[in-house]
Amino acid sequence: MPLADVPLSEGATQQLPPAALAYLGDAVYELYVRRWYLLPPQRLQSYHNQVVAQVRAEQQAKHLRSLMPLLTDSELDLVKRGRNAATRHPKRVDPRLYQQATSLETLIGYLYLTDPQRLVQLLANLELGSSD
């Protein structure tokens, strides 16, 4: 997956609030999931259903938990920053799950800007084939 052309410096990225990183990470994550499900060709509704199942907060929280053992200390610190940034949540979602989903999005946004190769490495570890 082609990512950012030129990574931002860590100093520049540190100036961004976790919510901004999560905002970007949400878009990057959804694009990655959409690309994952492109083959084999399907009807648009099938694409949509599969992607929606993966971008839900519950599934993102599950993905974060699966990645936790692979994260470096600095990535774990960033996950904590992202968790603390999730102050509001949709009524349908448990606040802890929403915090975990926001943490994943924050990590993805940060890595997209600073270390695209590491992002690809982590995303390759996600089990996108199932939503259970």
Q: Please enumerate in sequence order all residues whose Cβ is within 8 A of that of 70, keeping only pairs 6 or more positions apart, or say none.
A: 122, 125
Is 26 a known active-site residue? yes
Q: How sure is the predictor about 15, in pLDDT bands with cuts at 50, 70 and 90?
A: confident
The pLDDT tens digits for 55-111 are 999 999 999 999 999 999 999 999 999 998 766 767 777 889 999 999 999 999 999
Q: Please enumerate in sequence order all residues whose Cβ is within 8 A of that of 87, keeping only pairs 6 or more positions apart, or say none.
A: none
Domain 10-123 has CATH 3.40.50.170: no
- Sequence spans of domains, the chain: 10-123
- Percent of the chain scored above 90 by pLDDT? 59
**Phi–psi pair at 2, nearest 5 degrees:** -65, 135
Given a cut of 70, whether residue 130 has pLDDT beyond it is no
Tell me, yes or no, if the pTM score tops 0.75. yes
Q: Which one from 5, 26, 115, 132 is the annotated catalytic residue?
A: 26
Q: How many C-beta neighbours within 10 Å does residue 85 have?
A: 18
Q: Which pLDDT does position 6 carry in this prediction? A: 61
